Amino acid sequence: MAQIDFGGEMENVVLREEFPVEKAREVLKDETIAIIGYGVQGPAQALNMKDNGFNVIIGQAPEFKEDWDKAIRDGFVPGETLFPVEEAAKKGTIIQYLVSDAAQRILWPALEPCLNEGDALYFSHGFSVTYKEQTGVIPPKNVDVILVAPKGSGASVRTNFLAGNGINSSYAIFQDYTGKAEERAIALGIAIGSGYLFPTTFENEVYSDLTGERGVLMGALAGIIEAQYKVLRDNGHSPSEAFNETVEELTQSLIRLVDQNGMDWMYANCSATAQRGALDWRHKFREATLPVFNDLYNSVKTGAETKRVLDSTSSLDYKTSLNAELTEMRESELWQAGAAVRKLRPGQ
């Protein structure tokens, strides 16, 4: 592994240069990789591995016709490379369990008997295993249990692969029955197109992931956008002005500067007035939100978030209530203003 200095702390990472796809093919040459679930991560990981020359089959319930038909459109053939879930799992030596967290709990009693001694059970999220007391997903002792978690959505995993870039991923070993669990995990991470891989644990992956999604990546971002937009509107600013100063400049300008060279570089390339104000107010926002993030992390660590997710997503009317929440967001003045602003972008 390469050692990289991350802000003063040395960490091990696996680079494609030291573990190229040719080496991954050699490691996995005798494996049949069964992708269970063709919904979000499944298609991206399956297609990337297929394009990289690995032996991939799909396990998908035919009654979920949309996903079954998508697999066919993507080139998988019923009876040859596309099978019902249990049949695919029995054929696979590496079973990539990529259905949703809620579905993993439901499907597990049918999937577990399909695992053979020496198989590898692969996850892209530490959720089911970390919270096994709630999910009931307790792997048998005679299989490897591994994780490769791309740091992006399935769409990003596929798009970055096609662009030749890859996306970074974490990997973890929960159980090494065969003695080659780590080699299998790293090879699979390279096979799906990871730019580089960094080691973690199942627990750390899910704790950081759930905190990030509820925090800066989605929940906190949406919340502070709504708060700032409301303050501007309450003080007489027009919807277009409030949206532009809250969202449009963030997504179309500033965050791109952060992406290129970091937060300090973005500050250095803004006006002196913006710099001074941002430098002063960031401390206030940090101190105001720190207690919320501590509460959030504790909720994740204790399993309270897991209970909330499983209880909500298993209810019969969940999809209806979810659509209602998303519709409320989409039809709010803020995001209706956003829709109008996006149409006005040059070239749209």
Say whether pLDDT at 348 is over 80: no
Give the pLDDT mean for 85-100. Answer: 97
Report CA-CA distances (Å) from 84 to 87, 128, 146, 230: 6, 22, 23, 49
- Quote the CA–CA distance of 237 and 334 in Å, as a whole number: 12
- Quote the CA–CA distance of 313 and 329 in Å, as a whole number: 19
- Quote the CA–CA distance of 95 and 234 in Å, as a whole number: 54
Give me the torsion for CA of 222, 225, 227, 229, rounded to 10°. Answer: -140
Check residue 77 and give its pLDDT.
97
Name the token pair of 115. Answer: 């695992």
Name the token pair of 44. Answer: 């991206």
**125 carries an active-site annotation:** yes
Check residue 2 and give its pLDDT.
87
* Helical ranges in the chain per DSSP H: 21-27, 41-51, 65-73, 85-91, 101-111, 127-130, 132-135, 154-162, 181-191, 202-214, 219-234, 239-243, 249, 255-261, 263-268, 272-302, 304-313, 318-330, 333-343
Provide, rounded to the nearest whole percent, the portion of the chain with pLDDT above 90.
Answer: 91
Check residue 6 and give its pLDDT.
87
Give the pLDDT mean for 15-21. Answer: 92
Name the token pair of 91. Answer: 């054929």
Name the token pair of 6. Answer: 């991350």
137-155 pLDDT tens trace? 999 999 999 999 999 888 8
The whole-angstrom distance between residue 40's C-alpha and the CA centroid of its chain comes to 9
Taken in order of first residue, the domains within the chain and their CATH numbers are: 2-200 (3.40.50.720), 212-344 (no CATH)
Check residue 173 and give its pLDDT.
98
Average pLDDT, the chain: 95
Say whether pLDDT at 1 is over 80: no
Q: Which residue has the tokens 């269970």?
A: 36
Check residue 112 and give its pLDDT.
97
Give the pLDDT mean for 227-247. Answer: 97
Provide, rounded to the nearest whole percent, the portion of the chain with pLDDT above 70.
Answer: 100
Check residue 293 and give its pLDDT.
97
Give the pLDDT mean for 220-243. Answer: 97
19-71 pLDDT tens trace? 999 999 999 999 999 999 999 899 999 999 999 999 999 999 999 999 999 99
Say whether pLDDT at 338 is over 90: yes
Q: How does residue 212 score in pLDDT terms, banded at 50, 70 and 90?
A: very high
321 is in an annotated binding site: no
Say whether pLDDT at 18 is over 80: yes
Give the pLDDT mean for 340-348. Answer: 89
Check residue 40 and give its pLDDT.
85
Check residue 314 and give its pLDDT.
86
Check residue 30 and give its pLDDT.
96
Task: State the catalytic residue, choosing from 50, 105, 125, 214.
Answer: 125
271 is in an annotated binding site: yes
Say whether pLDDT at 87 is over 90: yes
209 is in an annotated binding site: yes
Say whether pLDDT at 11 is over 80: yes
Q: How does residue 335 score in pLDDT terms, banded at 50, 70 and 90?
A: very high
213 is in an annotated binding site: yes
Give the pLDDT mean for 170-190. Answer: 97
pTM for the structure as a whole: 0.90
Say whether pLDDT at 307 is over 80: yes
249 is in an annotated binding site: yes
Say whether pLDDT at 207 is over 80: yes
Q: How does residue 347 score in pLDDT terms, banded at 50, 70 and 90?
A: confident
Give the pLDDT mean for 305-331. Answer: 94
Q: 151 CB contacts (<8 Å, ≥6 apart)?
A: 167, 168, 169, 170
253-290 pLDDT tens trace? 999 999 999 999 999 999 999 999 999 999 999 999 99
Give the pLDDT mean for 303-318. Answer: 92
